[in-house]
Every structure is written in structure tokens, then in C-alpha cells.
Structure 1
Amino acid sequence: MENPEQDSRKRFQRLDFDIIIKHIGSAGKYQILLICLAYYIAIPSGMNQVASVFVAAIPKHRCKILEFDNLPGAYKNLTEEHLWELYIPVLDTNKYDECRRYIPVKNCTEEDLSNCFTNDTKACDAGYVYDRTEFESTIATEWNIVCDRLIWGTVSLMIYFAGVGISSVVGGNLSDRFGRTRVMLIAQLAMVGLGIGCSFSTSLIMFSALRFAIACCVIASWEASFVYMIEVIGNKWRTPVGISIQGVFAVGYILLSVMSYYLREWRSLQLGVAVASCVFPILWIFLPESPRWLLSKGEVEKGMKISDTIARRNGRKLPDDIWNQALIKDGNEMTEAHIYPHELFKRRLMKLITLRMMFIWFVCSLVYYGLSLNVGSLAGDTRINNALGGLCEILSCPLAIFTIDRFGRRPVLFIILIAAGLACIFSTAANYFSSADSALGVVGTIFALLGKLGISSAFAIIYNYTAELFPTVLRATAVGTGSMSARLGGICSPLVILIQYSLPWLPGVLFGALSLLAAAMCLYLPETKDARLTTTLEDAEIFYAKARNLANPKKSNNDCHEMEKLDENLM
């Protein structure tokens, strides 16, 4: 037989790496090391995804009073608390109005400060005074992104998530074209440069533009590292490895909380987040390219060499004829080579499955980022709440891993979304009445964290569930379509959070109601536990029809006729 190494360009598309990895090892010690190195990408990624919790935090503030703030020594007995009581109007919610002030009268004397203000109010016209206890500075305090300018902070965050969405489309293509490790390295180096530049931003426009570019790099490197890990590990370990990366992502949350405790000025914190990406270029030295990708691109000699290295460091040796064994015969080549995304919507049952999955993806992302980015509004310290949110996400990984294989994808996802939705509603109710009882604020925070635990688990499950629901020829496209729906949810999350400044109860109610609706959608999805993965479009349609018959026995006769018609159309 002709040696594949001598004619690599001719035979590169006909090598089955799954045969090779059986001899390399499913999860050898060297593969685990490579996965740990690739995992590091998730840490700076997690930091950047929630950096706005601290970098764009809005601390307690009030209107600046020139008559008092410009003369700090003139009124010796006037404390900050006393000034709030005299000068700041109180809203119907028993909270101070941070965007308006009473109009002071001229020639006020210290002896009778209660007569220094009228009952008329006006918007802050002389600037703001910020509470510097928790944050020395943020972009909100530096550029006064509060009150009537609050929308611009939301727009800046939406621009970041727009970068996430765009990179979701092009990032995977870049790693498919140029290699997994190469994209990881370039993206992490770019994150260093862009992050440093962002820390020296002179305007909100410059800050938003650089954050947009950072988002593109974050997702490009994230997707490349995710695919890399899936490619170098055996099939048995792909689910736990793929889900566990979200736990490492949450480690970035916790480290960001620690970092923000020592770096309380936003420019220093942004610089620290940028420096976190400097570690990966060192790790990259020890990270070989994915042999599966090399073989798919015709670089068989490099792929063979790396495969042999992985096997050797796992304590194994590849058989001499392994490459001849891995050759795919002409008769086994795929016949459906040109499949386009619109195929997801051409067949009735597949269209319904696709639309339901897209909605669940959208809700998972909307609620996930809504809870993650809004920890500053919860009772307690923002840093501790953010770290606890990261801990909940870490716990969500084993929760997903150990339940879906035992109880099934659909029932677990259904229960978790129900729990997350109820937790959001209970948290909203507790926070709404916390002005009368401060203990309810703590209860609201606990329920919010439980919601984060649930939605993080749902987010982890939905990746694997989507891949199992769709046939091989459309599997990556289906996951990509779901990911795009999730990015839309991420873009919408800042807008929903903004509503709380007008209607404090509405965001939590929306998060809860949408989670419950997504849970209802789960009831109309087929169960994939222990099911054979479908390969063709026709296989998938038959699988959906059979699953619906099992769920609705009364309709089985009608559906049998539909399946017969489908089979006739396929003949």
C-alpha cells in the first residue's frame, strides 16, 4: 500500500483520527496536561467578560452643591450624612434621589441649615459627588455616566457584547483556517495590547472601541481552546472536559474580585486584567498544535509526529501500520458535503426543534449575564457577591455532569430552568421589600446566587444537548446557530438591567418569567440520553417523529402516517 507520509496532500482528507486516538489513549496524563494548559485561556476570558462589574460600577452618588462642597471648612458641623438628609430628595421607594437636589437659598447661616433649601428640586447642574469607599474610580465616576447619561454606559456594554457576537461567527472560522494554538496565541497577545490601551482611554468612545476589540479576541481564543481540548481527548471524556471549562471561566470571576480589592482604580484594574493574558504565551511554548486539525489540513507529517509524541508521553507506542488503518476508504466518504444553515428550517420537525433551542439559548444567555453583571445591585459587598457567583458557576459543572447522564437531558434542563426562574422571582420580591427589612436584602442575594447556579448549569447542558439533537451534517451549524441566539441575549442583558433604574422589580420578573417559559419549551424537545446520534437530515426527522410518538401516544397513528409519507419522500 502507498505510504501516506509520502503522499500526504493526496490522502489528508481520508484519515480517521478517532482510530488513532484509540491507540494514543482516551485521556492520558499528557493529554490532561495539554488540557490544563489550554484551560488557562478561560481565566482571562472570565475576567474580561465581567470586568464591567468593577470597571463600570456606579457607586452611591449625589449632586454636587457648590455652596457646600467648594467650601469644605466653612460648615464645620455639617457631616455628609446630614447633607444628604437636608439636600437630597427622597423617592417613593424611601431611597434618596441621586440625580436631583433641593435648590439652596443664598446667604445661608450655619445656625439654621434647615432653612438653607427650598422645596423645589432641580437636576444636578454642577456635577456629582461620589462615594469612594468601595471604588476609588470607575468609568462612571470619571466620565459622569450616571442619571441622564446612564444610557451611554449601557450602550458601551452592548458594544462589548456585539464584539462577542461577531467573534462567535468569525472566531471559529479563524481557528479552522489558521490553527487552534496559533489563534489562541495571537488573540491573547492582542488582549494584552488592547487591554493596556484600554486602561489609557481618554473618552468613553475610545474605551468602548477597545473593549469591542477585546471581546472579539476573548471569544476567538475561547472557541479555539474549547475545540482544541475536544480534539485531543477521547469521546468518553468530551462532555466533562467541555463542561468543566466553564468552571475555569468562573475562576476568572473570583480572581477578578480579589484583584479589584487591591486595585480600586479602574485604570489599574483594567491593566491588571490585561497582564493576566501575558501568562499564556509562556504556556503556549509547551502546547503543540492539534494533530486532528493538522491532519485535516494536509500537514500529515506534523500530525503524525505530534500524535506519536502524545502517545509516547502517555506511555504508549503507536502501531507501525496505524496510518494505513486510519485511511478512510473511498466508499466510506460522506455524501452530503454541502449543507447550509437554512437546512435547519426546511423540515417541519427540525424547524420546530431549532426554534425552541434558539429560544432556550437566548434565555440562558440573557439571564446568565443579567445576573452576572448586576451583582452590584444586590445587598452586600460587590466583590464578595461576584466571587460567590463564580463559586456557584463552579458548582454548576459537577451538577450538570453527574445529573444529565443519570436522569436525562430534558428533565434535568427542565427542572434547573424552573428552579432558576423561581429563584429570580423570589430574589426580586425580597429585594423590593428590603427597604423595610434589611434582612430581606440578604435573602434576595441568596436567591440571586441560586438563580446563577441554576442558569449556569442550564448553559452548560444546552451545549451538549444541542449537539446531540442534530445530525452530524448539521451539528456544528446547529451549535453555532444557538450560540448566535445566546449572543443576542447577551447584547439585550444590559438593556434589561437598565430598566431597574425606573422599575426595580421588572428585570428580575423578566428573568424569572423567561426562564419558566424556556423550561416549558424543554417539554417539547426529544430526549437524547442513550440515543444513537443521527447522521443525516432524514435520520434526524425520523428520530424527532419517533420521539414525539413516545411523548404523545394518542397522536401516534397520525404521526405514523406522517413517517410513512416521509419515508416515501426519501425513497
Structure 2
Amino acid sequence: MGVLLGSFISGQLSDRFGRKTVLFWTMAMHTGFSFLQVFSVNFEMFTALYTLVGMGHISNYVAAFVLGTEILSKSIRIIFATLGVCIFFAFGFMVLPLFAYFIRDWRMLLLALTLPGVLCGLLWWCIPESPRWLISQGRIKEAEVIIRRAAKINGIVAPSPIFDPNELQDASSKKPHKHHIYDLIRTRNIRILTIMSIILWLTISVGYFGLSLDTPNLNGNIYLNGFLLAAVEVPAYVLAWLLLQHVTRRYSMAGSLFLGGSVLLLLQLVPSGMDGVCLQDSV
């Protein structure tokens, strides 16, 4: 529920206050409310705090993803989205069962998983604001400083001036267009893409989290199973990166969905007595 609520407001907040500001505020929200969960006195308090954690979590993810895609060049965005974001999600997932194996008390486990989030605050001085967002807000000088700094780091001589004064004057004279969520259904083409994205995200989320949350029902050690479930994502993200480099998006998406769906269907053919292969309790 928290992720659902955060999804509705994260984009609007980052458009209003900036990607970097929302990134770090929601990071603080995620870390802070996770820390308060350690002191929960009942399940209701834990759940209410967890809703706020979910809001911070998804808002943080969206702001970080948008910030990265707006700062990086077109040739680097695929690497950022796969090997930059997703593969480190898998590494974090792999660390979770390792922490849980050595820390069996849930309060101490939650505390151990929360404290590293405090260190992320140090990244404030390393991560710049999105120049694209700054330009959209008319903060041209700030955008120029960030671009010149990036050019210096990459050993590139930035042009002077970076932005054409005539183009900036034309852009400033135009009234900024405000986007709303109903823009996703305004035209026929966008409406079809929106519906397809909704169906795909629903399908993928149900399959991914259904398998992830059903890990305790697998035969064998639950900690090892959790680790292997996360570890198998690493080569999957590498494969996704290769596919996106050499295969069209449509074929990459269709092929991966077909492969995953086929394997899930074939699992029904495995005899129920084979505990080493099947789930102890069928999903």
C-alpha cells in the first residue's frame, strides 16, 4: 500500500522540488521509519510504519532512476538501468539472507539492515542535480556549473557558452506546460502504451514477488534458498544488458516473458514427490 501511494506522488514531488532533493528526503524517510519499526510495540504500529517505509522506498527508487537517466548520456543509460541499478538490487538481495542467518532476532536484523542507509547521506556532496530539471526551472547558471564539472571530469572541453542565448530566451518566453497523470490516456497511442505497461508490470510483479515470497516453501535450507534466488538474478541482468545492446526491446521483452512463463508451466509436470525440485506446498 505504501508503494502504491508513493508511486502517485513521487513523480510530482521530483518535478516540483528536484530529483536530488526528493532522492535524499525519501532516502531519509525510508531509513528513519525503518529505524522506528525496531521499537514497534504491536503489529498495527509496525504495519503503519511499514506503509511509510514503502512510500519512501518507491519514491527513492523513482527519483534515483530518473536522475540517472537524465544525467547520463544515451549510450550509458542501458548500462545504468541494468548493471548499475538492477544488479546492485540483486547484490543487496543476496546480503539479506546472509544477515538473517547470523542475526536471528528480527529487531536487531531490521536495525542492521537500516543503519547502512545513514551512510547514503554522505552521497549528497557527490550526486549532482539533474541539469535537465534545472533548465526546465530556468536555473541555467546552476545547470552550466554541473555540465562544466562533468566535462572536466571526463576530460572534455565544454563550449562557451554551453547554451545558445537566443534559444534560452525563446524557451523562457514560453509558458511551461504542466503534465498530469491523465496525460497517460490523452491520445490513442499513449493510451495503448499505458495499458500495455500496466498489464506487463502486473504480470511481472505477481510472478517475481510470488516466487520471492514463496522461498520458505522450497525444499532445503531457507537461507541458502534465499541467497540462490537472489544470486540467479545477477546473470539474468547481465543477459538483459546484452539483449538490450543487440536485440530490439520488443523481442527482448517477449522472449523473456515467454521463457519465464514456459518454465512456470513446465513445473506443473514435475511429480509432487520430488521434494528436491518442487515446492513443499504448491503456490
Q: TM range, normalised to the smaller chain?
A: 0.7 to 0.9
How many residue pairs get matched? 281
- Conserved 8 A contact 1:164-1:219: yes
Whole-Å separation in 1 of the counterparts to 2:132 and 2:188: 35
> Residue 326 and residue 307 in structure 1: after superposition, are their counterparts in 2 closer, same or farther (change >3 A)?
farther
Matches within 5 A, 1:457-472: none
Aligned to 1:61: none
Whole-Å separation in 2 of the counterparts to 1:343 and 1:191: 29
Deviation per residue, 1:212-244 (Å, 9 max, x gap): 111111111111111111111111221221223
Larger helix proportion, structure 1 or 2?
A: 2
Aligned to 2:159: 319
Q: In structure 2, list runs of 5 or more residues that go unmatched.
A: none
Aligned to 1:367: 207
Aligned to 1:444: 278
Measured after TM superposition, the shift of residue 346 of structure 1 is 5.8
- Conserved 8 A contact 1:195-1:270: yes
Q: 1:302 aligns with which of 142, 149, 169?
A: 142
Whole-Å separation in 2 of the counterparts to 1:272 and 1:340: 39
Aligned to 1:209: 48
Whole-Å separation in 1 of the counterparts to 2:62 and 2:20: 11
Aligned to 2:262: 422
Measured after TM superposition, the shift of residue 357 of structure 1 is 3.3
Amino acid at match of 1:409: R
Aligned to 2:71: 232
Whole-Å separation in 2 of the counterparts to 1:216 and 1:170: 9
TM-score normalized by structure 1? 0.45
- Conserved 8 A contact 1:344-1:350: yes
Measured after TM superposition, the shift of residue 393 of structure 1 is 1.9
Matches within 5 A, 1:117-266: 162-244=1-83, 245-266=85-106
Aligned to 1:388: 228
Deviation per residue, 1:231-265 (Å, 9 max, x gap): 11111221221223111111110111111111111
RMSD: 2.7
Whole-Å separation in 1 of the counterparts to 2:82 and 2:190: 25
- Conserved 8 A contact 1:429-1:444: no
> Residue 354 and residue 247 in structure 1: after superposition, are their counterparts in 2 closer, same or farther (change >3 A)?
same
Q: 1:267 aligns with which of 96, 107, 110?
A: 107
> Residue 305 and residue 412 in structure 1: after superposition, are their counterparts in 2 closer, same or farther (change >3 A)?
closer
Q: 2:242 aligns with which of 398, 402, 405?
A: 402
Deviation per residue, 1:464-514 (Å, 9 max, x gap): xxxxxxxxxxxxxxxxxxxxxxxxxxxxxxxxxxxx9xxx54x4xxxxxxx
> Residue 419 and residue 303 in structure 1: after superposition, are their counterparts in 2 closer, same or farther (change >3 A)?
same
Measured after TM superposition, the shift of residue 344 of structure 1 is 4.8
Whole-Å separation in 1 of the counterparts to 2:33 and 2:151: 38
Which structure 1 residue ranges, 4+ long, deviate > 4 Å from structure 2? 333-353
Percent identity reads: 27
Whole-Å separation in 2 of the counterparts to 1:305 and 1:289: 11
- Conserved 8 A contact 2:99-2:109: yes
Whole-Å separation in 2 of the counterparts to 1:354 and 1:305: 36
> Residue 188 and residue 404 in structure 1: after superposition, are their counterparts in 2 closer, same or farther (change >3 A)?
closer
Whole-Å separation in 1 of the counterparts to 2:137 and 2:75: 25
Measured after TM superposition, the shift of residue 411 of structure 1 is 2.7
Amino acid at match of 2:61: W
Aligned to 1:377: 217
Deviation per residue, 1:348-383 (Å, 9 max, x gap): 565445433321221011111111111111112222
Deviation per residue, 1:372-420 (Å, 9 max, x gap): 1111111122222222222222222221221244332223322221221
- Conserved 8 A contact 1:188-1:221: yes
Whole-Å separation in 2 of the counterparts to 1:348 and 1:185: 36
Whole-Å separation in 2 of the counterparts to 1:195 and 1:341: 30
Aligned to 1:358: 198
Whole-Å separation in 1 of the counterparts to 2:148 and 2:196: 44
Deviation per residue, 1:430-481 (Å, 9 max, x gap): 4x613xxxxx233237xxxxxxxxxxxxxxxxxxxxxxxxxxxxxxxxxxxx
Whole-Å separation in 1 of the counterparts to 2:73 and 2:37: 40
- Conserved 8 A contact 2:272-2:278: no
